[in-house]
Amino acid sequence: MKRPGAFNVDIQRYARALGIGVVSLLALIPQARADGLTGEIIVLNWQTGTEHDLLHDLETAFQKSNPSVRFREVNAIGQGDRRGAIRIALMSGEQADLLVNTWPAFRAELADAGMLRPLDRQWDAGHWGDSIAGKWRQLAQYKGVTYGMPFTFGDRSGIFYRPDTLAKAGIAASPKTWDDFLASFKKLKAAGITPIAMPAKVWAHGEWFESLLVRIGGPDVMSKLAAHQISWTDPAVKAAALHYAQMLRSGCCDPTDRMFATEWDNAADETLKNGTHGYELIGMWANGRMKAFGLAEGKDYALFQFPALGAGHDDATVIDAKEFLELKSGHADAAADAFLGWMSSADAAHILAKYGFPSTSSKADTSRYGVVLAETARVVANSKVQFVLGDLLPGDLVDEYRVQLQRLIQDPSDANVDKVLAAIEAKAKTAYQR
């Protein structure tokens, strides 16, 4: 009789002899998929709250059909931009199989450092592309190599609000144009409501600038700016910054010190839970957070698209996405591959929807989506999309970008727009020299 685990060892030896991956071989042996897959998948985790609960539920669901696979999480928890905590963990020698990533620039950084496993073989052998569209695979590539499995996405040009808050201010419908949007501030303030919850403590104050930029210059301009193929003093970039300053001068927000003390989740609560603020521009985290509070999409809160600017790019939308990356330091390659393949399943999509997140998989049952998720899926499918600018910038540059926008918040004059953009451009000139 073979000793326990010998079957799996033989599978691996046979796979190596044939020159194919273990996951590819397991796909040919139906019983092995459930009974032969073993290992401990170590996840380098930086997520908290409902997002961490989501990750745990995904792991648990996968284990139901793969009971010999275990998960262990190594925490890299920090505040603000979590890349710093992840870097510290990796530089200290922490080993892991999987990392949830939302920053294309960080993926490039890890790939250049030789820390990531390419996933092209797994995509092809596992037929992941049968349910994950090619545009998502392209989004997960760096220098022509696929490193990620994108599993969810967000509409970052969608503005969250409470219908009853607008009604209280006498606003019958969400603003459709930029002028109407600015005009709504007066009505909101007259009703004792701060128009915009601006989370300017670390990073989320860039959301408004980035949607302005994509609507003024289009995805091509934002993509070129991210690669520093155009200057930060480019006319389209300046026009976006001037609109941002105009919004600030129009009395959109709280006093500066309060904005600088506000994180995105505080702003979400102020807008969607408490109704003290009118609008928040943020990703699907707000949807997940409100679901955790028991609020109902469409009834208690809703989403409308960024107001039209009439610059020829009102069909453009900023998006984000989350992907799993596989790290070379891990030792459960076959199990990690199988988990990523499972992430395209209907079961995984159902769990994502329960937490308020859409799935990249065509197997998702969109009839389960609430109005916010349905609107997000519709917009991303039908718009010209561009990834979040801040997540595309090199580490030092993104820090300077966010600090300079904070300085613009402090002084939203036209003259300061020029100073702010010049300072970011000065940093950009050295940030791409690897």
Instruction: Give per-residue pLDDT as tens, 20-48.
Output: 444 444 443 333 344 579 999 999 999 88
CATH class of 158-319+381-431: alpha beta
Give yes or no for residue 10 having a pLDDT over 60. Answer: no
Give yes or no for residue 14 having a pLDDT over 80. Answer: no
pLDDT of residue 143: 96
Give yes or no for residue 193 having a pLDDT over 90. Answer: yes
Considering the entire predicted model, what is its pTM? 0.87
The first and second tokens of residue 120, run together, are 């092209």
CA dihedral of residues 282, 285, 291, 296 (deg, nearest 10): 20
- Longest Cα–Cα distance in the chain: 81
Classify residue 181 as exposed, middle or buried by CB count within 10 Å of its CB (0-12, 13-18, 19+). buried
| Confidence bin at 329 (pLDDT 50/70/90) | very high
Classify residue 167 as exposed, middle or buried by CB count within 10 Å of its CB (0-12, 13-18, 19+). exposed
pLDDT of residue 84: 84
Residues 6+ apart with CB under 8 A from 372: 158, 287, 297, 298, 301, 302, 303, 356
Give yes or no for residue 19 having a pLDDT over 70. Answer: no
Average pLDDT over residues 140-154: 97
Average pLDDT, the chain: 91
pLDDT of residue 48: 87
Give yes or no for residue 4 having a pLDDT over 60. Answer: no
Pick among 3.40.190.10, 2.60.40.10, 3.40.50.1820, 3.40.50.300: CATH of 37-153+320-375: 3.40.190.10
Give yes or no for residue 217 having a pLDDT over 50. Answer: yes
Q: Tens of pLDDT along 256-274?
A: 999 999 999 999 999 999 9
Q: Tens of pLDDT along 91-103?
A: 889 999 999 999 9
Contact 311, 325 (CB under 8 A): no
Strand duo 158-161 + 277-281: pairing = antiparallel
Q: Tens of pLDDT along 102-138?
A: 999 999 999 999 999 999 999 999 999 999 999 999 9
Strand duo 141-142 + 148-155: pairing = unpaired
Give yes or no for residue 187 having a pLDDT over 80. Answer: yes
pLDDT of residue 434: 61
Percent of the chain with pLDDT over 90: 85
pLDDT of residue 104: 94
d(CA 414, CA 121): 52
- CATH 3.40.190.10 residue spans of the chain: 37-153+320-375, 158-319+381-431
Closest CA to 244 of 281, 273, 206, 270: 206
> 308 - beta bridge partners?
177
pLDDT of residue 147: 99
| Confidence bin at 75 (pLDDT 50/70/90) | confident
